[in-house]
Amino acid sequence: RLPGAAKGPLSGRHVVVTSGPTHEAIDPVRYIANRSSGKQGHAIAAAAVAAGARVTLISGPVTLPDPAGCDVVRVESARDMFAAVARVLPADIFIGAAAVADWRVEAAADKIKKRQGAAAPTFSLVENPDILATVSRASNRPRLVVGFAAETRDVIAHAKEKLLRKDCDLIIANDVSEAAGVFGGDANEAHLVSRSGVESWPRMSKEAVAAQLIARLADILDRSEAA
Ligand code: CTP
Ligand code: CA
């Protein structure tokens, strides 16, 4: 812990949070995006500030204001986000709340023009780096690495698989099927999936999910140090 830091359960800790969608350029004027609003990630960053942490928020394009008290790095694409995360580590806790695009387009340098009688363009996609998996396998791995799993079915099973595949300590699983209304909405139904089991939280505001998650992470860090 750093001396002279703000008071709170995460006093002296550095927390890095990714939030929002990424935009993947098709050409200079077009992009592929997703429906992430950034509300949950930004709420987590704010909760970590409130808990006394030094917080770096790496945000994709969102319409939300910057949470007070964070260092905010704005990025567009998954590759930008990846590079920004690498630059701001080390950290005690990494929370990957961003909806990172899985693929990018081999973008055209010039605007793609619609020509009379020409066929519609086709795009080939290239896989983006996995930020969460890379952070959790880095030599300077944060002590706690937390991911999200946005699923439309078999929520818990997919989250467990992601926990193992990406070597995370915790996965927050959400049902993002239309009925659950998580994307863009103000509430969230979270399932905490760890190696020791699953804990399902009742539906609550994204701020409440953020506060409870941060309290839990502070507790896990304290216990692991006491041990
Ligand atoms: N993630 C990441 N980098 C990527 C893709 C995902 O860091 N290129 C992170 C997300 O921020 C999230 C977690 O990985 O914390 C899970 O993202 P998700 O899209 O649910 O998982 P994927 O492995 O991409 O699987 P799929 O989209 O097929 O469900
Ligand atoms: Ca994905």
Q: Which ligand is closest to the CA of 79, given by its number?
A: 1
pTM, full prediction: 0.95
Q: Using CA atoms, how far apart are residues 171 and 156, in angstroms rounded to an integer?
A: 10
Residue 164 clears pLDDT 90, i.e. is over it? yes
Nearest 5°: phi and psi at 212? Answer: -70, -40
Please report, to the nearest 10 degrees, the dihedral formed by the alpha carbons of residues 74, 159, 184, 42 taken in order: -40
- Average pLDDT over the chain, rounded to whole? 93
Residue 184 clears pLDDT 80, i.e. is over it? no
Please confirm, yes or no, whether 34 is among the known catalytic residues.
yes
Q: How far is the CA of 17 from the centre of ligand 1 (A)?
A: 14
Q: How far is the CA of 152 from the centre of ligand 1 (A)?
A: 14
**Which protein residue's CA is at the shortest distance from atom 21 of ligand 1?**
149
Quote the pLDDT of residue 97. Answer: 98
Quote the pLDDT of residue 185. Answer: 78
pLDDT tens digits, one per residue of 83-102: 999 999 999 999 999 999 99
Q: Which ligand is closest to the CA of 147, given by its number?
A: 1
